[in-house]
Structure 1
Amino acid sequence: MSSLIEPELVERGPQTKERRRTQEERRAEAESRLLASAVKLLGQKGVAGTTLSEIGVHAGYSRGLVAHHYGNKERFLRAVATYIAKVYRSKLPPEGLTNGGIQPVLDYVDAYVAEKGEPLGAVVAMFSEALISGGPLKADMLALNDVSIDYLAGIIRLGKKTGEIREDIDPEAMAVMIIGMLRGVSAQYALNLQRPQRTDVARQIKRSLFLTLASDVGCAREVMLQA
């Protein structure tokens, strides 16, 4: 999710002039860096262990900049939730789902479990905080949850239409089950689980999902045995 921000945006060339960034551009850049730093620190230290002042310093600014922009921690956490949802949506197909089936589900598992990264740790930390504190953050995290459910359920529906996924699968119920399983696994690694390796867990989850979703169970077993 780069060096500290320079005070000017410079376009260099033999005959080009330096252009000072507008106040709006500088503000947008600052907010982007603050949010990215928050995701990194929240993933490492959790909500309670992360202060607004250290987020400002980590982003390369003053200790009081987060409070200046957002007022308090609750408002800032809500901004972080919106930021994560925006980043997540940017990774989805730009023109809607056109490819469904089992493979996109397995790719989702790899992205969630096999790959390391602060965003997943931050999501786990913020979901825990939302469960404890409730309030506006809970609504924000539910909205983020809906993005994941809609995406997975859409993939499964398309897979059912092509006949690759079993007809009796409930897309939304399966999506909720998958997300719950992946978040539970991610939470364990957020606690610094040392074994087994993430890739081994991801492989086991994918095998189970393949056998559960595939309309041709015999073919599915053969494919997974070869994997």
Structure 2
Amino acid sequence: MTQATLEAKPPRQTQAERRAESERKLLSAAADLVAEFGIAATTFEKIGERSGYSRGLVSQRFGSKDGLIAALVNDLTDQFESALVANHLDDLPPHEALIGYIDLYFSALWQRPTESAYHVLLAESIGAQPQLRPLFAAAHDKVRDRLREFIESAQRLGTIPKAVDADATALSVGALMLGMTIQSIVNPTTDIDRVRRSVVATLRLALQTPVA
């Protein structure tokens, strides 16, 4: 074996890296299957086949189907949080970060298929899978907290009036975002981008935020 061959050989993954990679692939396979077939038809066997791992590894990683679904909801929520970081929202003035957060959320709804795993899971939590509701309630509480933090920070800087009820406004905006998610499931032809532009313009007017 030549020196060049030795140098070209990729470094061996650590156990932690292999575990993280397998979990990413398992969750990605689970998300695809849930989006295509729903929760009931998403079995450990199908996840193993889709991901290239064994059914036993799915069980080992997540324990039960409820454990898998909980991990999937958390992973999908984390993906949106990662998108926020990638778009540097925390580097913006808080009133612009608030608008940017809402704009990014609606843009994601507009760009991704409404049959996405998150939408399917959310819809099933309202219907056949009520045990999922606490997971979504916790995820939506995080959204409410982040929106409230943006508003309160902007109030301290004077770019949103102090008379605005930060918590009630955060809850209202979060409910609007959730409602549009449901709307996109019920009617996939909804013009989400048109709604996005209207919501951003209306929110700027209501909160009296300066236009960038």
TM range (shorter): 0.7 to 0.9
Q: How does 1:14-53 map to 2 (within 5 A)?
A: 14-16=5-7, 17-53=9-45
Out of 64, 70, 73, the residue aligned to residue 72 of structure 1 is 64
Match of 1:151 in 2: 146
TM-score between both structures, scaled by the size of structure 1: 0.72
**Cα offset, 1:121, TM superposition:** 3.7
Are residues 98 and 194 of structure 1, via their aligned partners in 2, closer, same or farther at CA, if it must alter by over 3 Å?
Answer: closer
Q: How does 1:63-102 map to 2 (within 5 A)?
A: 63=55, 65-92=57-84, 97=90, 99-102=92-95
Q: Which runs of 5+ in 1 are unaligned?
A: 1-11
Match of 1:168 in 2: 163
Q: How does 1:173-192 map to 2 (within 5 A)?
A: 173-191=168-186
Match of 1:109 in 2: 102
**Cα offset, 1:41, TM superposition:** 3.7
1:50, 1:113 → 2: CA distance?
A: 28
Identity %: 28
| Structure 1 counterpart of 2:208, one-letter code | A
1:66, 1:192 → 2: CA distance?
A: 34
2:107, 2:90 → 1: CA distance?
A: 23
- The count of residues paired between Structure 1 and Structure 2 equals 205
TM-score between both structures, scaled by the size of structure 2: 0.76
Are residues 52 and 212 of structure 1, via their aligned partners in 2, closer, same or farther at CA, if it must alter by over 3 Å?
Answer: farther
1:123, 1:166 → 2: CA distance?
A: 35
Match of 1:211 in 2: 205
2:167, 2:117 → 1: CA distance?
A: 24
**Cα offset, 1:180, TM superposition:** 1.5
Are residues 212 and 46 of structure 1, via their aligned partners in 2, closer, same or farther at CA, if it must alter by over 3 Å?
Answer: farther
- 4+ residue runs of structure 1 moved beyond 6 angstroms? none
Are residues 178 and 20 of structure 1, via their aligned partners in 2, closer, same or farther at CA, if it must alter by over 3 Å?
Answer: same
**Cα offset, 1:213, TM superposition:** 1.2
Are residues 211 and 98 of structure 1, via their aligned partners in 2, closer, same or farther at CA, if it must alter by over 3 Å?
Answer: same
Would you say the 8 A contact 1:52–1:63 is kept in 2?
A: yes
Match of 2:52 in 1: 60
- CA deviation string 1:37-73 (max 9, x = no partner): 3334434544345443333333233455423432321
